[in-house]
Structure 1
Amino acid sequence: MRDRYQRLRNEVEHPERYEEATIISSGVPIVLSVWRGQSGGPVVVFLPGTMTHPLFYEEFCDGLAARGINVVGVHLESHGKSPRVGRLLRLESLVANALDATSWARARFGRWPVVVGSSQGGVLAMIVATRDRELAGVVAHNILDPELPASITVSRFPPFLQGAYHPAMRGLRVLAKFVPRLPISFSVYLDMTRVCREPWTAEQFLMDPLSLRTYPLVFLADLLTADMSGVRNGTITCPIVVVAGRGDPLFSLDYTRQVFARIVAPAKELIVFDTDHHLLFNECLPLVLGRVAELIARLDGSVGERAGDLAGGPKAVEGSTPGHQP
């Protein structure tokens, strides 16, 4: 494991299996962090959370590589090591980044990738699943459906606003048209104490020179009013696995189950880890790493069997970590 100063410098623990690549996506350069696993092994495209980058999750990505899984972490447009190109950040650009990264991963490793997303990256992974028909599967840590008024509970806005949720979101879209570049800091809409349970994680985020500090208002409007109809209408052609913490203080398990019930996919599964942390891939690594690696290997191995699986119709399963009940 990296020590405090290695994390703050965004160093990698095993440079012998790490490299970086730069690709052009939506007309601008973005950086990919690549952890090489076993030759011919499964491939993951990893999508990080709000305002962060793959090196914030280095222990998780490197841990997958140590288990033979090749990992392609995406530094989304103007995030992390990707150049700050100065143009207005939009959700659609991040979707394009993820799709271009999956194409790059297929070409580089010769396999259909599993898309793994954490927090905001989990939301992005679900959108990618509706557009890319050459995925082995998706593992989404947290999911969001902006149509549900309960979505407001993910933010730091008071829950009583659920009654005015849809008018409020329409108002947000209107405001974003007038002041699209208005910078919105992390703390305006997310509570750091609900995101980070451990002080060292908050320190890593707040002191990281590669992390963003604000998003433009129009990006938040894009995210909080994103069209997720493709998740519900049968557009997804790959298996979906959602992972969640039982006591996640940001995405409650009740809310996650509401969104999970609306997903339409060839197969879907909800895995519940017995923890009250939100950042599963950072603060709960001993609990989740092995299980997530098993899920990735299973999804990778299912590609050749998918036609036979689909003949049996869609499946929905809720599971839990060994020794715990869902």
Structure 2
Amino acid sequence: MTLKPVNYYETFISSIDTKICLSIYKQDKNKPVVVFLPGTMVSPLFYDEFLLKIAENGFNVVGVHFVSHGKSPKDKKVFSFEDMKQNVKDAITYVLTNFNNQTILMGSSQGGILAIAVAGEDNRIKAVFPHNILLPSLPESIEITRFPHILKYSYKSVVNFIKWNGKIFPGLQLPMTFYLSLNRVTESRKIKEDIYKDDSILKTYPLYFLSSLFGADMTKITDGSIKCPVVVIASIKDPLFSFSYTKKVYELIKAPEKEMVVFDEPYHLIFNECIENILDPIVEKLKEVKFD
């Protein structure tokens, strides 16, 4: 089968009273579409090499620049986890209108959390591929942050404190390093330099967003609301999301079908730092999705 060269372009759509940018890697209008959700503070372009290779393997890819992220207008200084979920749903609507209904949702890190959350609310997708999953209600979730792990024993109080401050100081801008260790995200000096030099990558989040993330109701991923297959992507040696934590969340997911694709890589950013090792198995699983 001969595939067309990938055509990259960008477009803007309306979402939550503003515009957001979509990165389009177009293979063929009739091919399946992977809607890709990036991680904390970055845009789909941070994963450009990986997304291009997915497209070269016979998929259209639509990367979402969340509200005020990447190439989306920076006109909203305060936004929430719910706003980002709506961005995803609006991107899916764009795909259904301009491509087809063979829609797969994939995300990495924070994008993986959003992907599994949206899968519990939007039955238009045919499969979800989250790289990293999280249940904010689990006290062990504190271990992903840089906060002292002992706080898991008073986790409810910590979450309530964050939510309370998010209401009082919603626009307070906090750097990623306030709650995540950059060294656990990546040890690559080049990637760290790129993060600080790239103006399209956000350097802070409003406290309101962090409070909405920690307080997000994600019970729909455990109550049977997900109606499509779930393929969780994980790495045994991920320094940010421990494999034991990922397995705990995975066991709680209720879906018609679920499985894990597990890699033995010492990276959190597996879509950036070891593409050659993870691409083929992921593409193989994408090609197994049924669109009946």
TM-score by shorter chain over 0.5: yes
Unaligned runs of 5+ in 2: none
Cα deviation for residue 127 of structure 1 reads: 1.1
- Matched with 2:27 is 37
Cα distance per residue 1:145-170 (max 9 Å; x no partner): 01111100100111111111111111
Q: Alignment partner for residue 46 of structure 2, among 48, 56, 78?
A: 56
- The answer to whether structure 1 residue 272 and structure 2 residue 291 are counterparts is no
Secondary structure in structure 2 of the residue aligned to 1:20: strand
- Percentage of identical aligned residues: 42
Distance 1:137 1:211 in 2: 28
Cα deviation for residue 39 of structure 1 reads: 4.3
Native 8 Å contact 1:248 1:276 kept in 2: yes
- Matched with 2:56 is 66
Q: Alignment partner for residue 166 of structure 1, among 156, 160, 175?
A: 156
- Matched with 1:100 is 90
- Matched with 1:309 is none
Q: How does 1:143-158 map to 2 (within 5 A)?
A: 143-158=133-148
Native 8 Å contact 1:76 1:82 kept in 2: yes
What is the one-letter code of the residue matched to 2:291? V
- The answer to whether structure 1 residue 303 and structure 2 residue 291 are counterparts is yes
Native 8 Å contact 1:35 1:70 kept in 2: yes
Native 8 Å contact 1:42 1:296 kept in 2: no
Cα deviation for residue 110 of structure 1 reads: 1.3
- Matched with 1:242 is 232
Cα deviation for residue 107 of structure 1 reads: 1.5
- Matched with 1:230 is 220
- TM-score, normalised to structure 2, is 0.96
Distance 1:94 1:158 in 2: 28
Q: How does 1:256-295 map to 2 (within 5 A)?
A: 256-295=246-285
Cα distance per residue 1:15-48 (max 9 Å; x no partner): 9610111100111111100001244221100000
Distance 1:124 1:290 in 2: 24
Q: How does 1:106-145 map to 2 (within 5 A)?
A: 106-145=96-135
- Higher mean C-alpha displacement, 193-202 vs 247-256: 193-202
Count of matched residue pairs: 288
- Matched with 1:319 is none
**RMSD of aligned Cα (Å):** 1.2
Cα distance per residue 1:39-76 (max 9 Å; x no partner): 42211000000000000000011011111110000000
Secondary structure in structure 2 of the residue aligned to 1:242: strand
Q: Structure 1: which 4+ aligned runs deviate by more than 4 Å?
A: none
Cα deviation for residue 191 of structure 1 reads: 0.6
Secondary structure in structure 1 of the residue aligned to 2:45: helix
Distance 2:190 2:98 in 1: 35
- Matched with 2:73 is 83
Distance 2:77 2:190 in 1: 32
